[in-house]
Chains A and B, each alone.
Chain A
Amino acid sequence: AQSVTQPDIHITVSEGASLELRCNYSYGATPYLFWYVQSPGQGLQLLLKYFSGDTLVQGIKGFEAEFKRSQSSFNLRKPSVHWSDAAEYFCAVVLNQAGTALIFGKGTTLSVSS
């Protein structure tokens, strides 16, 4: 079945350590790819997106993501995590052949320890 998978439900990282959140998709063609962040009780904020071209994309708040076609992955990274990064992170896709819906993964909760 077509899906977006975030294998890690919950990750804890020490402040200052690096972070990688995983995302895999299972669609025949490369969709548009997104990462969103959601703080408790808040809406979603777009961190970055990939449509085509350079497979390493830079986003806001020091985040980056790398698209790997061979692995159908779009992993989110940050070299040094801050306590304020604690939140829920969602990977999402739009099937660009028949847009309209953002299809989200189930999310990864990031906790930051001091």
Chain B
Amino acid sequence: ETGVTQSPTHLIKTRGQQVTLRCSSQSGHNTVSWYQQALGQGPQFIFQYYREEENGRGNFPPRFSGLQFPNYSSELNVNALELDDSALYLCASSLNTLNTEAFFGQGTRLTVV
């Protein structure tokens, strides 16, 4: 049990729709990172938030956006969903931006049909 919780655990969306995924970070952690894990692949870095500001972004289009709130919880928003967005989305919280000890949530399984 890492203390990082993600919601929902599963959801199904239609191509073109928008989705919001949520993550509650571990107590005391001010950094949240989001990853996309396609089936059979390793997680791919989407972006990181540190103290409510974006602090690094991977090779994902602008329709992937995020927020971090004053309590350090975070949201990942994806607009104009595409079939290839189907994946497990993982949130990781850490005490610092170097991820020297990142704790992952269980993930949200998104299926786009």
CA distance A30 to B4 in the complex (A): 29
A-B contact count (CB 8 A): 71
Asked if B7 CB lies within 8 Å of chain A CBs, one says no
Residue of B nearest to A36 (CB): B104
Asked if B102 CB lies within 8 Å of chain A CBs, one says yes
Query: Which residues between 2 and 44 of chain B lie within 8 Å of chain A, taking CB atoms?
Result: 2, 4, 33, 35, 40-44
* Closest beta carbon of chain B to A23's beta carbon, Å: 11
B102 touches A100 (CB 8 A): no
A101 touches B100 (CB 8 A): no
A46: B residues at CB distance < 8 A: 101-103
CA distance A100 to B103 in the complex (A): 14
A107 touches B41 (CB 8 A): yes
Interface residues of B (CB under 8 A from A): 2, 4, 33, 35, 40-45, 48, 55-56, 58, 90, 92, 97-107, 109
Interface residues of A (CB under 8 A from B): 4, 32, 36, 41-46, 49, 51, 90, 92, 94, 96, 99-107
